[in-house]
Amino acid sequence: MNKMIQSIPKIKIQYEKTMLLYQAAMEEVLTRIHILNREFKIENAYSPIEHISSRIKTPKSIYQKLQRQNQPFTMENMMKFVHDIAGIRIVCKFTSDIYSLVSLLENQHDLQILEHKDYIKNRKDSGYQSYHLIVSIPVSLTEGCINTLVEIQIRTIAMDFWASIEHKIRYKYDKEIPPHIQRELLECSDIVRFLDQKMLALNEEIYEEEANHKDDYEQIIDSLKAFI
Ligand code: 0O2
């Protein structure tokens, strides 16, 4: 048994332990997000999160990211230069939900936000819109507590739809998207922005009306109470 364990290359164990660290950090952040969502739902009677997905970056993808930065594939470089080994994607209904979630995350105890990238206010040249955070969270393993990075991408349903189609197209053309398709994608990104603004305005109008009706209703109850 001991011989078998000794024959497992040290590097493999080191890699698996590193991945365990990222997996644990991701689960920790996911738990916090689920709790925040439930708390928000109790206070505001609706849930800002439509759905959440998460993934650990594949070794191939980590390798490619290091290659793009001219860095050799080592454990140290991986942890230093690849900040999205653990990734969480949160999809919301409205743009306002994204900013509410960001401020809730900012108030989390021992979750440190290291980087904000607002690709909604500053859309990428490709047309990509999303809000990215790099957070650091402590993970306790046998050898101690290690602060580990997790990338959180927050976007609306419409932004997510655009990103997933664009990702497929980019993959199909091996990153060299023909100019006319790039223009079409930019046009779609404008439509996404317009749709998100329209839906938010519509939602606000409906809720304002509902709140006014509630006021009317409360007034009726109050005047009825005067007769009792
Ligand atoms: P995957 O498969 O999602 O992991 P980079 O630009 O990647 O060298 P950085 O700082 O990590 O450097 O980039 P950024 O822009 O903060 O976030 C990178 C991630 O955002 C990407 O991860 C994508 O998930 C997403 N993203 C960024 N730009 C675009 C875009 O134009 N289109 C789409 N569809 N997604 C985008 P990876 O590692 O590229 O891939």
Q: Whose CA is nearest to atom 29 of ligand 1?
A: 128
Ligand 1 center to 131 CA (angstroms): 11
Split at pLDDT 50, 70, 90, the class of 228 is: low
Split at pLDDT 50, 70, 90, the class of 69 is: very high
The predicted-structure confidence for 141-161, as pLDDT tens digits, reads as follows 888 899 999 999 999 999 999
Ligand 1 center to 214 CA (angstroms): 45
DSSP per residue over 174-208, as a string?
TT---HHHHHHHHHHHHHHHHHHHHHHHHHHHHHH
Classify each residue of 90-118 as buried b or exposed e, where b means 16 or more C-beta atoms within 10 Å of its C-beta: bbbbbbebbbbbbebbeebeebeeeeeee
For residues 22-45, average pLDDT: 94
CA distances from 108 to 44, 100, 102, 105, 135 (A): 19, 13, 10, 5, 11
For residues 172-193, average pLDDT: 93
For residues 1-26, average pLDDT: 79
Q: Which residues line ligand 1 (CB under 6 A)?
A: 57, 61, 65, 68, 84, 117, 124, 126, 128, 132, 163, 166-167
Split at pLDDT 50, 70, 90, the class of 45 is: confident
Scanning the structure block, which residue is given the tokens 């023909």?
178
Give residue 2's pLDDT. 55
pTM of the model: 0.88
Q: Which atom of ligand 1 is nearest to the CA of 167?
A: 34
For residues 22-49, average pLDDT: 93
The predicted-structure confidence for 73-108, as pLDDT tens digits, reads as follows 988 999 999 999 999 999 999 999 999 999 999 999
Q: Which atom of ligand 1 is nearest to the CA of 164?
A: 34
Q: Whose CA is nearest to atom 22 of ligand 1?
A: 84
- Give how far the C-alpha of residue 226 lies from the chain's centroid of Cα atoms, to the nearest Å: 52
For residues 110-119, average pLDDT: 96
Catalytic one of 151, 184, 187, 204:
151
Q: Whose CA is nearest to atom 35 of ligand 1?
A: 163
Give residue 207's pLDDT. 78
151 is catalytic: yes
Give residue 39's pLDDT. 92
Scanning the structure block, which residue is given the tokens 């209904």?
93
Ligand 1 center to 88 CA (angstroms): 13
Give residue 217's pLDDT. 63
Residue of 54, 61, 81, 84 to mutate, ligand 1, most atoms within 8 A of C-beta: 84
Ligand 1 center to 216 CA (angstroms): 49
Q: Is 24 exposed, middle or buried (0-12, 13-18, 19+ CB in 10 A)?
A: middle
Mean pLDDT of the chain: 90
Ligand 1 center to 182 CA (angstroms): 17
CA distances from 33 to 29, 111, 141, 176 (A): 6, 11, 22, 36
Percent share of the chain, pLDDT over 90:
71
Q: Which atom of ligand 1 is nearest to the CA of 87?
A: 4
Q: Is 86 exposed, middle or buried (0-12, 13-18, 19+ CB in 10 A)?
A: buried
